[in-house]
Amino acid sequence: MDTPAPSLLWYVAHTRPRSEKRVAEFCGDREFIHFLPLQASVKNYPGKKLVFYKPLFSGYVFLQLFPAQASEVRQCRHVARLLEPGDQAEFAAQIEDIRIALLSEREVRLAPNITEGRRVQIRSGPMRGLEGQVLRRQGITEVVLRLDFIGQAAAVQVEAQELELV
């Protein structure tokens, strides 16, 4: 009876601080399949403009490995721990979505995880500076907040991109 060949699995390397590019280099040197999504960061200095590329997901590098290769990655001094997603198919689809978004050449930025119960502050618009708690989230961008004015509660609908976590 033949034993089935091991297949590639997705892993997430949780890196030591500011070590994402070192982990990607480590994987590249060993020809491990890896994905480090980067976002451009433009800095303007007198007389010049510099573009830096920083990790989209700070502290994480995504890898596709054979199970036997995982122990080698765990031994890398820049890896804090190696995580294995529970649902490989779902994770693969999500990684592919990120990859496609980056290839679209549109701005891709990290979005705060605005969920029910989280404290947030409105960062733009006429209610800028107000803080509240997310009561419920409807759809992708619509959020209902509880704003505590003089001990009362008021609900207001705000686009999620106008919010930041407190």
Are the beta carbons of 123 and 164 closer than 8 angstroms?
A: yes
pLDDT of res. 155: 55
Q: Please indicate, yes or no, whether residues 91 and 45 belong to a single structural domain of this protein.
A: yes
Q: Please indicate, yes or no, whether residues 26 and 65 belong to a single structural domain of this protein.
A: yes
Which tens digits make up the pLDDT trace of 76-122? 999 999 999 989 998 998 998 888 888 887 777 766 667 777 887 87
Whether 72 shows a pLDDT value over 70: the answer reads yes
What letter does residue 128 receive in the DSSP assignment? T
Q: Strand pairing partners for 42?
A: 51
pLDDT of res. 41: 86
Which structural domain range is residue 152 located in?
119-165
Whether 142 shows a pLDDT value over 50: the answer reads no
Distance CA 6, CA 153 (A): 56
Phi, psi (deg, nearest 5) at residue 122: -80, 125
In a domain? residue 148:
yes
- The total number of structural domains in the chain stands at 2
Q: Please indicate, yes or no, whether residues 91 and 124 belong to a single structural domain of this protein.
A: no
Q: Please indicate, yes or no, whether residues 151 and 127 belong to a single structural domain of this protein.
A: yes
Q: Please indicate, yes or no, whether residues 24 and 56 belong to a single structural domain of this protein.
A: yes
Give the helix, strand, coil percentages of the chain, each rounded to 5.
20, 40, 35
In a domain? residue 109:
no
pLDDT of res. 123: 79
Which tens digits make up the pLDDT trace of 1-58? 555 556 999 999 999 999 999 999 999 999 999 999 998 888 999 999 999 999 988 8
Residue 89: CATH number of its domain: 3.30.70.940
Distance CA 106, CA 35 (A): 19
Q: Please indicate, yes or no, whether residues 98 and 123 belong to a single structural domain of this protein.
A: no
Q: What is the DSSP string of 60-112?
A: EEEEEE-HHHHHHHHT-TTEEEEE--S-HHHHHHHHHHHHHHHHTTS---PPP
What letter does residue 26 receive in the DSSP assignment? H
Domain boundary at 52, 74, 103, which? 103
What letter does residue 162 receive in the DSSP assignment? G
Residue 127: CATH number of its domain: 2.30.30.30
In a domain? residue 4:
no
